[in-house]
Structure formats: structure tokens, C-alpha cells
Amino acid sequence: MTDAIKTKKSDDLIGWYNNVLIESGMMDFSAVKGFPVYRPYGYEIWERIVEYLNKRFRELGVKNAYFPLLIPESILSKESQHIKGFTPEVAWVTKGGDRDLDERLAIRPTSETIMYDSYSKWIKSYRDLPMLINQWNTVVRWETKETRLLLRGREVLWQEGHCVFETAKEADANAIAMTKIYRDVMEKILAVPVFYGMKSEAEKFPGAEKTYTVETATPNNFMIQSATSHNLGQNFSKAFEIKFIDRQNNWQYVYQTSWGISMRSIAAMVMVHGDDNGLVLPPAVAPIQVVIIPIVKDDKKKEKILVYALEIKKKLDAMGIRAHLDDRDDQSPGWKFHQYDLLGVPIRLDIGEREEGSRTVSAKLRFDGSKDTFEEKNLIEIADKLGDIQSQMFENARLSASKKVEEISDKAEFIRKLKKDEKIVKAAWCGREECEGKIKEETGAISRCIPLDNEKMISEKCVYCGEHAIYNAYFSHTY
């Protein structure tokens, strides 16, 4: 454990988590409760998520745009379920300069309403469809519960995609396709395994017909929702009069989806991979992939060592590896080792007299502490090693996640294990809102995810109420 990280991960997960985010310089609190600061080291991780998703979105023909920050109350209120869901947590602008506004304006808690007001003007014909638009922005939701960095805040960094289709089938296919892209960014980029599937009636998005979700198991057997994708059906198109002339020359209401991933994806990554020494970053998102530390014991050898270290750095740069040479004189190698462990840099290269003499580098891998040596002439192997680390981190996390889940059909055991967070529980369930309410009341846990595939049912009866079960579902606490 470094000096900076005062809490052990296994003792107090949230205490450790806050400690790591702050001390690594990823995040900070600001003067406004629930509004975090994304410092450069944290924001760069988000930028790599953005880069990957922009590429995937573009391949589907989705284009970026930007819509207003503020939404008039009259427009926010047009879809009845939606406004009911969001009213308690809207931040209202009531004054512009010295003047009271005629109508108060909501800071967007999400942009369905303000975007669909425009869509209703733009869409006239099936020729205008599909319309596939995304925006990267922040939304504000006035959380009354305790806020937590990246997990629950009043200002949330995310993207929201809003697509429009001719048919119900296309809309549902799009909502599912986006869930799979979210699964990919979690698993391939953040090396975080996910459970994905549908939300229950009680947990779906206000105004949606179906909500699909991507969830991650935390070390303490909670599940975190990183991304959701909604099949909105015609709920909003009817409220906003988004109609088109179809191929048979009839007016029809469009079918819509909306989907988003937030900075919670990063929270999941930190929790799954970090350890008592700090962050452990997957190479795909690490701002620094390889750090080079010169070890000078004899000052007469200093110049030779530094020249060699710089050569290594340049070779890594040329391979497209994000390498950093820390040649500061005023910090000891030992201090630097701790510092880059805290920052979660995947590979550390130590370069001293011996390495310079033998034209090698001594490597230490952050994720498993293993050591290795590379020859200067085979430095390209470091690129392969970064790929290996990425795969291995994912595999380790997948194994660990699978052990967290237990299939349970006994009610008493279901309740006991959920109450104590002993396991994430998978069980046969009736899916009724009333039953979910009672489970929540008794255990504090809720349904997180209903797998999409046709799985073998664990039981014919709901684990909790004994009524007819219609699918399996995962249950856990959540942040």
C-alpha cells in the first residue's frame, strides 16, 4: 500500500475508491456538491472511450450533433411518464441576468424532449429515415442521495444517442445493437466483463417500452449500470407528433430509441481492476502505457543511462506506444515506483547501468507484479505485451465476476445472500413491479438485468412470491 492510499480495498471499498480517484489525480471534488472535476488524467480515459465509441457509431451511420442545454418546462412535460420520472431531480433556471424568466427552464436531465421537438420539424417522409443522431454532453440531475465520484453525481458526463425508424422492428434491433457496442467498449477497451440484458418494468427508463442495460459486478457483489439503451416505441412520437409519410403514402408515427453510456463505466473499471497500491489501468485507456525510470547509482554513468533511456523512449514513441520518461532529479526511483503504481501505468521499465551495458530493459507489469526483460533490438515485443496484459486483465476479471454469481431457487437463501451481499443472485422471477417492490423492501436489492438469450429457467416459480416465473434475473444492491 502506498502512503497516498490509506484504505485497503478489502476493508472499505468506497473509502479506498475515493482515495484512489483523488490521489491519482483522476478526479476531484469541486465547490459545488455533486459536480466533480475531471482532471486531465481522468478525462483522458474518458476521451479514449469517446474515440472508440465515435468510431463504432460512425460505422452504423450515426452522426454527432449538439442540442440546447436548457429545456422549457412546457416541452419537458409533454410525455407524461417522462416528466413524472424526472421532475423530482430537475435543476431549474428561473432568472436571466436581473430578470425573472416568463417560463422556467430545466437544465437537461436527458435530451429526449428538446431533441424530439426538433425532430418533429425535420421528419416528413420515409426518405428522412432512419435518422441517427448522437450527442456528447453533460446532464444535470439533482440527486438527493449522497453523491459519489463517477457513480452518482448531479452533473453527469455521458453521450446520448437518439434514433428514429420506420418500423418497431428496426427500433428494437437498434436498441439491442447499441447494447452490444456498450458491451464491447466495456470488455475490449476497459477490460471489464459485463452482464447485459433487459431491465424490469420497475427499473426501465421513464417513457420507454423496453430498457436494455449493461451491468458490472463490483468486488463487494453490487452491480453497477454503465450504459442503457431504450426502445421508446411510439411513446414520444405520439407526444411530440413526429409523423412521416410511409411507403404506402400514409401518415405514421415513427419508432424511436435512445441510448447512453456515462462516466460510470470508468467507475466500474477502477473498482474491478484497482488494488491497494492504486489504479490498475488496461493498456487501451492508459494515458501512459509505459513509464521509463532511469536508475542512476554512479553519477559518472548518468549521461550514458539517460541517453539510452531517451533512445528507448523514442523507439516506443515510434511504435505508437504512449511512453513517458521520468528523468526528474528531485525524486528518487523509489518515490517514482510508488507514484506510477498509484497511476496504474501498465508497464514500468527500469534502466540502470546493467541495462545500458547489456542493451536491455527491465520491465515490471503493474497488473500482476511480474518481471520481464526485453532486448533493445526486440523492443516491439513490448507492444505485444501490452496486448497480452489487456487480454489477461479481462480474463482475470471475467473469472472473478463469474464466481460472484450464484443461482438460487430457495427463498430464504435468496433473501439471506442478498441482504449480506454474499453473492449476486440469479433466480427465476415473475417480473411483477409489486414483487420487485417487496424484494427491495426486504433485502435492499433490486433486479439488475434479465438476460436476453433463451436460457434454461432455474425454476418454474418466482423465487420470491412463488407465482409463475417468466424469466431469470440477476439481483443485487447497487450504487
Q: Is 43 an interacting residue with respect to a copy of itself (CB under 8 A)?
A: yes
CA dihedral for 161, 164, 168, 170, sign (positive or negative): negative
Q: Check binding of 69 to a copy of itself (CB under 8 A).
A: yes
* CB of residue 377 to a copy of itself, shortest distance in Å: 30
Q: Which of 2, 7, 118, 459 binds a copy of itself (CB under 8 A)?
A: 118
Does residue 3 belong to the site contacting a copy of itself (CB under 8 A)? no
The amino acid sitting at 58 is R
Our measurement of the distance from residue 123's CA atom to the centroid of its chain's CA atoms, rounded to an integer in Å, reads 32
Of 318 and 399, the one with the shorter C-beta distance to a copy of itself is: 318
144 binds a copy of itself (CB under 8 A): yes
Contact range with a copy of itself by CB under 8 A, out of 81-89, 200-208, 395-403, 418-426: 81-89
All three cell numbers of 222, joined, read 453490487
Binding to a copy of itself by residue 93, rule CB under 8 A?
yes
What are the Cα distances from residue 27, in Å, to 17, 38, 43, 117?
11, 5, 8, 35
Q: In terms of C-beta density within 10 A (0-12 exposed, 13-18 middle, 19 or more buried), how is residue 268 classed?
A: buried
Q: What is the dihedral of CA 148, 478, 400, 10, to 10 degrees?
A: 50
Q: Which of 97, 370, 441, 460 binds a copy of itself (CB under 8 A)?
A: 97
For residues 13-23, b (16+ Cβ closer than 10 Å) or e, as one string?
Answer: bbebbbbbbbb
What's the min distance (Å) between Cβ of 241 and a copy of itself?
A: 14
Mask: binding to a copy of itself, 370-399, rule CB under 8 A, as x and -? ------------------------------
Q: CB-wise, 245 or 405, nearer to a copy of itself? A: 245
Bridge partners (DSSP) of residue 288 are none
Q: How many chain residues touch a copy of itself (CB under 8 A)?
A: 55
Identify the residue among 1, 14, 60, 70 touching a copy of itself (CB under 8 A).
70
Q: Which of residues 317-356 bind a copy of itself (CB under 8 A)?
A: 330
- Judge contact between 200 and 440, C-beta under 8 A: no
Number of residues written out for the chain: 479
Strands (E), 267-387: 290-294, 323-325, 347-351, 360-365, 371-375
CB atoms within 10 A of CB 347: 27
Site residues for a copy of itself per CB under 8 A: 28, 30-32, 35-40, 43-44, 46-47, 63-72, 75, 87-98, 104-105, 107, 114, 117-118, 121-122, 127, 133, 138, 140, 142, 144, 154-155, 157, 330
